[in-house]
Chains A and B, each alone.
Chain A
């Protein structure tokens, strides 16, 4: 299959692995930003084939993991209301809030449905004018254009029964927070290819310069990932900071201008709490005032809900790359995918879930 088989071909992978082994003369710590990359690395076993001097740490790029608890609790409160059709992406259904998850709300009679695009939620709103259709709009820059488009479309059609509970997050401020932390050990980044497909890599250039790190926009297949790692190692060995795109078949320097324009029109930058990381300034997106009528938080008056996290969960340190999942005392004991303490164990993209799924014999 085009763009799948070629990029999983063991031949080129072995060549790249040999080149990485030859290039890496010192120990390096590289963070892959995106949870999709983490899963691909473990699923294809790439971590076991890299030189031991190279450490991959797993970044905060799992939208399910970093969505703050208060957003989940607000979602649960809205979804439980009569007359509401609550929609979201499939893997948000299992994310625990303070006491509940969306699947349990559904089992108690809440009308909770999963969709693969917010436009499907919009369609539900058209077909059920007597119901309030709410979409849980979470994720990084990747999902922002679709979520923005749904709101813009609802406004154009004059749909009054559609709203979004928005909790978008942005990658570059999180990278700056990680690099600026005294505990940081990350020396280079594989930037998330899908995020860069929308945003391009201009905003990574000042980050690379400010912190003196290589940042490599990278894809999700084994060949993509190994190319990204090789570039990052070569730049580290040369002592070079900057951005080198290794996902050229998808990512352009300016990203996707049309997608960026609709995001800009509908959303504005705001401070945002990240689950496990705390509030990061100017790291989120919220609806602009012009689209306030589509803000579910206001419509359902759930802004005051404030939750508490389980204290034993170290997902914050995991999301910053300070610790690995198997360094958590609860990992595999109190915390498993069936009994998750934190979001990194819940999502199919969470680093803890990935360790559990592919790897737990040899942590």
Chain B
């Protein structure tokens, strides 16, 4: 045979390196996995506990009861005006922990990355997580990364779990509301949901609305100091303010009456809601809290919220009433009461 193989010139093709997108091998536990973690993840969250790279973080907690929460974040698009999935994932869990009155301390981060995700986008998201964790005063002490086939997830999913410690004497619960209590919101509603909607494929409206994503641990601490009788806190995320109020009313078996005109909504957010036929009461927030306080502490609570940068737009929006248990009503500008129900499901823009 004249064209016998020339074994001398043969070589195994070496695997390509220097990727600019996430590869399946990045999640396979080998050298590429280590590269991804070392080059992209670890530098963002430097702390002694994480640096050990053990299978777990081992630490002691200050005295007090422990608050523990987990949340998984999926959002399209991954980046939106005012934030991205990274700060959303940090702030979301920090806030869930903080709504118990706890000081949030530690987070875990689980990343599910889709094959082909641009590493530059991953870096931006991790940068947001770093910044959000720093601002919230929490440490990311353990984590995990998996890569899934293209088409198996929408760019990336993020799970965060968080631990905090509840100060002695603080016991908040959605079941603790009593008739006469005042209800407060820490600022304008519906900004996050409308910011995300403004950049969704298929929706053509342009706006300057930004997500309100923010960590509320500091705001909660100030509020607790000013209103020690605080009954309940909740961050009105999915389902919006209406859902949180309905949850309060049901858990405490009380009625709630909201003053329509007292609920703060930015002009541009209100306009976007009007255009799409969506009620801002049902739209998600990611940096707001709803507080129930005894009437006598309402003024102090309001002042404490307004004194904090994240609570400048705070307002008293209604009160707990003895009426029908579980029923939330809105008093309109004309003094008429109507029901403010739980939303059924998705908020879908209206036809015309």
- Chain A residues at the B interface, C-beta cutoff of 8 Å: 1, 4, 8-10, 13-14, 36, 42-46, 48-49, 63-64, 87, 89-94, 103, 113-117, 119-121, 124, 138-140, 142-143, 194, 222, 337-338, 348-349, 356-361
Measured CB to CB, the nearest residue on chain A to B333 is: A10
A45 CB → nearest B CB, Å = 3
Neighbouring B residues of A87 by C-beta, 8 Å? 202
Quick check: A348 and B204 within 8 Å, CB to CB?
Answer: no
Q: If A90-B348, A359-B339 touch, does A116 touch B204 (CB 8 Å cutoff)?
A: yes
Complex CA–CA separation, A194 to B352 (angstroms)? 8
Nearest 10 interchain pairs by C-beta: A45-B336, A90-B348, A90-B349, A115-B202, A89-B351, A358-B338, A10-B333, A142-B352, A45-B332, A48-B336
B201 within 8 A of A: yes
Complex CA–CA separation, A46 to B332 (angstroms)? 10
- Chain B residues at the A interface, C-beta cutoff of 8 Å: 201-205, 267, 270-271, 274, 276-277, 324, 327, 332-339, 341, 344-346, 348-352
Complex CA–CA separation, A111 to B138 (angstroms)? 41
Neighbouring B residues of A93 by C-beta, 8 Å? 346, 348
Quick check: A113 and B338 within 8 Å, CB to CB?
Answer: no
Q: If A91-B348, A337-B344 touch, does A116 touch B276 (CB 8 Å cutoff)?
A: yes
Measured CB to CB, the nearest residue on chain B to A194 is: B352
Neighbouring B residues of A138 by C-beta, 8 Å? 351
Quick check: A115 and B350 within 8 Å, CB to CB?
Answer: no
Q: If A337-B344, A360-B339 touch, does A49 touch B334 (CB 8 Å cutoff)?
A: yes
A292 CB → nearest B CB, Å = 25
Neighbouring A residues of B349 by C-beta, 8 Å? 89-91, 114, 116
Quick check: A119 and B204 within 8 Å, CB to CB?
Answer: yes
Quick check: B333 and A44 within 8 Å, CB to CB?
Answer: yes
Neighbouring A residues of B338 by C-beta, 8 Å? 42-43, 45, 358-359
Complex CA–CA separation, A45 to B261 (angstroms)? 14
15 cross-chain CB contacts under 8 A: A45-B336, A87-B202, A90-B348, A90-B350, A91-B348, A92-B351, A93-B348, A94-B345, A116-B276, A116-B349, A120-B204, A143-B352, A338-B344, A349-B350, A357-B339
Complex CA–CA separation, A263 to B336 (angstroms)? 41
Complex CA–CA separation, A338 to B352 (angstroms)? 22
Neighbouring A residues of B345 by C-beta, 8 Å? 94
A4 CB → nearest B CB, Å = 7
Neighbouring B residues of A338 by C-beta, 8 Å? 344
Q: Which of A13, A89, A124, A140 has the most CB of B within 10 A?
A: A89
Quick check: B203 and A44 within 8 Å, CB to CB?
Answer: no
Quick check: A222 and B351 within 8 Å, CB to CB?
Answer: no
Complex CA–CA separation, A14 to B345 (angstroms)? 35
Neighbouring B residues of A4 by C-beta, 8 Å? 270-271, 274
Neighbouring B residues of A140 by C-beta, 8 Å? 352
Quick check: A143 and B334 within 8 Å, CB to CB?
Answer: no
A sample of 11 more A-B contacts (CB under 8 A), given A87-B202, A90-B350, A115-B204, is: A1-B270, A44-B336, A45-B337, A90-B348, A116-B202, A120-B204, A138-B351, A139-B351, A348-B350, A349-B350, A358-B339
Complex CA–CA separation, A14 to B334 (angstroms)? 8
Quick check: A8 and B348 within 8 Å, CB to CB?
Answer: no
Measured CB to CB, the nearest residue on chain A to B268 is: A1
Measured CB to CB, the nearest residue on chain A to B341 is: A357
Complex CA–CA separation, A48 to B333 (angstroms)? 13
Quick check: B332 and A44 within 8 Å, CB to CB?
Answer: yes
Complex CA–CA separation, A121 to B350 (angstroms)? 16
Neighbouring B residues of A359 by C-beta, 8 Å? 338-339
Complex CA–CA separation, A357 to B339 (angstroms)? 7
Q: If A337-B344, A360-B339 touch, does A114 touch B202 (CB 8 Å cutoff)?
A: yes
Q: Which of B205, B276, B337, B351 has the most CB of A within 10 A?
A: B351
Contacting B334 at CB < 8 Å: which of A13, A103, A115, A358? A13
Quick check: A1 and B267 within 8 Å, CB to CB?
Answer: yes
Quick check: B277 and A348 within 8 Å, CB to CB?
Answer: yes
Neighbouring B residues of A121 by C-beta, 8 Å? 202
B43 CB → nearest A CB, Å = 37
Complex CA–CA separation, A213 to B352 (angstroms)? 27
Neighbouring A residues of B277 by C-beta, 8 Å? 36, 91, 348
Neighbouring B residues of A10 by C-beta, 8 Å? 333-335
Complex CA–CA separation, A160 to B37 (angstroms)? 47
Quick check: A91 and B351 within 8 Å, CB to CB?
Answer: yes
Neighbouring A residues of B339 by C-beta, 8 Å? 357-361
B297 CB → nearest A CB, Å = 30
Measured CB to CB, the nearest residue on chain A to B201 is: A113
Contacting A116 at CB < 8 Å: which of B205, B267, B333, B337? B205
Quick check: B336 and A49 within 8 Å, CB to CB?
Answer: yes
Measured CB to CB, the nearest residue on chain A to B271 is: A1
Measured CB to CB, the nearest residue on chain A to B275 is: A116
Measured CB to CB, the nearest residue on chain B to A138 is: B351
Measured CB to CB, the nearest residue on chain B to A64 is: B351
Neighbouring A residues of B267 by C-beta, 8 Å? 1
Measured CB to CB, the nearest residue on chain B to A348 is: B350
Quick check: B334 and A46 within 8 Å, CB to CB?
Answer: yes
Neighbouring B residues of A13 by C-beta, 8 Å? 333-334
Neighbouring B residues of A42 by C-beta, 8 Å? 338
Measured CB to CB, the nearest residue on chain B to A14 is: B334
Quick check: A120 and B270 within 8 Å, CB to CB?
Answer: no
Neighbouring B residues of A46 by C-beta, 8 Å? 334, 336
Complex CA–CA separation, A94 to B277 (angstroms)? 15
A325 CB → nearest B CB, Å = 14
Complex CA–CA separation, A361 to B330 (angstroms)? 13
Contacting B351 at CB < 8 Å: which of A8, A63, A94? A63
Measured CB to CB, the nearest residue on chain A to B329 is: A361
Measured CB to CB, the nearest residue on chain A to B347 is: A90
Complex CA–CA separation, A232 to B324 (angstroms)? 37
B191 CB → nearest A CB, Å = 15
B332 CB → nearest A CB, Å = 5
Neighbouring A residues of B350 by C-beta, 8 Å? 89-91, 348-349
Complex CA–CA separation, A245 to B335 (angstroms)? 28
Complex CA–CA separation, A13 to B332 (angstroms)? 12
A289 CB → nearest B CB, Å = 27
Neighbouring B residues of A103 by C-beta, 8 Å? 346
A339 CB → nearest B CB, Å = 11
Q: Which of A45, A138, A222 has the most CB of B within 10 A?
A: A45
Complex CA–CA separation, A48 to B336 (angstroms)? 7
